[in-house]
Chain A
């Protein structure tokens, strides 16, 4: 399935488009998206530190997702790097 991954915060500096497309197997979990993101970052985002990837959560529009969660059927997810509102 194709994932539409929304980018926020420091991830916006790695590419001009606000959405990244990643391919994962149908029915895959968030862990597969995390692995696909790591591979993409290693190949295309030289400024992306491994520590940022490790500290990044995944989310739908409604909730944070655990690595063992099934990816949303519509393929729409967001990267949530460390937050600092307020």
Chain B
């Protein structure tokens, strides 16, 4: 039987199997768990009124994985120690509809699974060293606005 607490934190190439939601749900499964929560983030067609054709994720991989693991450990400490967490983020150029990020949490009950899944995806979005560049239909591209990490210990 798998451990009742576990973390898997991954960075993956676009459309890699590590981004498959089924794989995430399988990892957070446990015979003692009755709740699983899943978040899947995909590239959408329109953003701020502009036609998006692709998104490119730049990423500082060693620190990104360390940050994912730290965020997941915080959920074990803050939500419940009986928790399995899976987080995987894409690195590279994605097309509209492709999966950018998948987060899953498994726990004894739904409340902990929902809370942990939400906390992890918010941490990934606000704290992980990942940068998104949107490519538009007119051929232009822009780095998206982001959250400064200076308040996280950077300054």
Query: Could you tell me which A residues sit within 8 Å of B by CB distance?
Result: 6, 8-10, 12-13, 54-67, 78, 80-86
Contacts and interface: CB of A to CB of B under 8 A. Distances in A.
A62 B66 contact: yes
A86 B121 contact: yes
A59 B146 contact: no
Contact of A85 (B62, B101, B153, B154): B101
A64 B153 contact: yes
Contacts of B62: 61-62
B148 A55 contact: yes
A71 to B, nearest CB: 14
B89 A85 contact: yes
Contacts of B60: 6, 8, 59, 61, 78, 80
Contact of A83 (B66, B121, B130): B130
B129 A80 contact: yes
A78 B144 CA distance: 19
Contacts of A62: 62-63, 66
B39 to A, nearest CB: 9
B154 A83 contact: no
7 contacts: A56-B154, A59-B60, A62-B66, A80-B129, A83-B128, A84-B131, A86-B130
B125 A8 contact: no
Contact of A84 (B66, B130, B152, B154): B130
Which residue, B124, B125, B131, B152, has most C-beta atoms of chain A within 10 A?
B131
Given A81-B146, A83-B149, A86-B121, A57 B155 contact: yes
Contacts of B124: 85-86
B131 A61 contact: no
Nearest to A82: B146
What 4 A-B pairs have minimum CB-CB distances, sorted nearest first?
A57-B154, A85-B130, A9-B131, A82-B146
Interface in B122-155: 124-133, 143-150, 152-155
